[in-house]
Amino acid sequence: MNLKWVGLFAFATFAWLTGAALAAPPPGISDGWSDGFVYANGIRVHYYHAVPAPGKPVMVMVHGATDIALTWAMLAQLLQKSYDIYMPDTRGHGLSDPFTDVDKGDTLIKDTVEFVHAMNFSKPILVGHSMGAATVMRIGAEYPDLPKAVILLDPLLVRMPGRGLGVSALATASPGATAGNLTFAMSGPPAMLAAQNNYAFEDWVAKCGRDTPIWDAADCQYWALSRKQYHGPYTTIQAQAMTGTMSTADALARITAPTLILKADAPPETRKANEEAARVMKNGRLVHVDGAGHNIHRDERARTAELLTQFLDKL
């Protein structure tokens, strides 16, 4: 990261500590990175490419609901010397095209599969977080010859009482549902969602800093940018298409590629339930990351990179 952004992020941290508002533009991409578009599964998919690593294994990182590809940035910087990393913006997120009323519960799965094909990747490592983990899980089950390995960051393994797979359940993908007194809706009429894209960037950054003080300042900047770029589903049909991705059913049991699951820290009874659910894997392991919440790669970034590297080095 260049000195300009180092200084910006240092100022962001100071602003949180003093309670002052951060007045800064949205962040750019890391030094040496690039971005582009590819047409896949009927839409323009926007993606970022980390510093090119010719000859290294290709890694495709699929973000969670309401995030954007750049929310992987800080983790990707730790991995980019060992892997050739691509990060697409999911349909309805970032700079990719929005949802449509013809989308179905497997649309996001096909988006990623067709992205891999359009980019001519052979046996990429697939990494997913939250909703992205559900996407990657289903790809591993339904397209067993596509991935070299599957890595799932805090997927839903055990259905908790009262928690379904609807849009409300996906709200855990972000640190809080409001920024000050600014509400954030994950779905709704286009005019309403567009209006919330106009909320001040610095208010989102300040909110993130208050709610997730363990995050790097850059993580909060990219998270705030995700709020500015979020399309979301505009209709009930589109919302069902997004949440339908989360219907993983017996997907975990059908994955044949080497699989790593990183789960958030949890009390003993929850850990036991997660470990029991993971026993169906044919070729995988589960690790609970101490001290991490749902956003494992932002809560415990160094540990996440260490676990991923240890797992992939053994393939």
Element (H, E) at 102: none
pLDDT by residue (tens digit) across 188-215? Answer: 899 999 999 999 999 999 989 989 999 9
Residue 18: pLDDT over 80: no
Per-residue pLDDT band at 180 (split at 50, 70, 90): low
What φ, ψ does residue 77 adopt, rounded to 5°?
Answer: -65, -30
In eight-state DSSP terms, residue 247 is -
Q: Quick count: other Cβ atoms within 10 Å of Cβ 288?
A: 17
Distance (Å, whole) CA 187 – CA 238? 9
Mean pLDDT calculated for residue range 158-166: 51
pLDDT at residue number 183: 77
Cα 315 to Cα 300: distance, rounded to the nearest angstrom: 23
Between 203 and 8, the more confident residue is: 203
Q: What is the DSSP letter of 223?
A: H
Say what the pLDDT of residue 12 is.
39
Rounded Cα gap, residues 190 and 63, in angstroms: 22
| Residue 181: per-residue pLDDT | 65
Q: Taking 50 as the threshold, does the pLDDT of residue 168 lie above it? A: no
For 26-35, 95-104, 140-149, 254-263, which range has the lowest pLDDT when averaged over its residues?
26-35
Q: Could you give the dihedral angle defined by the CA atoms of residues 88, 92, 96 and 101, in that order, rounded to the nearest 10 degrees?
A: 120
Domain ranges of the chain: 35-313
Yes or no: say if 48 and 69 are a contact pair by the CB < 8 Å rule.
Answer: yes
Candidate from 14-28, 103-117, 155-169 with smallest mean pLDDT: 14-28
Q: How many CB atoms lie within 10 A of CB 7?
A: 10
The pLDDT score that the predictor gives to residue 164 is: 38
Stretch among 15-29, 95-109, 130-144 having the lowest mean pLDDT: 15-29
pLDDT in tens, 76-123: 999 999 999 999 999 999 999 999 999 999 999 999 999 999 999 999
DSSP calls for 152-186 = EES---SPPTT--SSGGGGGGGSS-SEETTEE--S
Smallest Cα–Cα separation from 25: which of 46, 4, 43, 40? 4
Architecture of domain 35-313: 3-Layer(aba) Sandwich (3.40)
The pLDDT assigned to 159 comes to 72
Local structure of 151: helix, strand or coil: strand
Quote the CA–CA distance of 50 and 32 in Å, as a whole number.
Answer: 7
Mean pLDDT of the chain: 87
Residue 175: the pLDDT is 38
* Token pair of 299 as six digits: 């809560």
Q: How far apart are CA 117 and CA 237, in angstroms?
A: 27
Burial status of residue 271 (CB atoms within 10 A of its CB: 0-12, 13-18, 19 or more): middle
Cβ burial, residue 208 (10 Å; 0-12/13-18/19+): buried
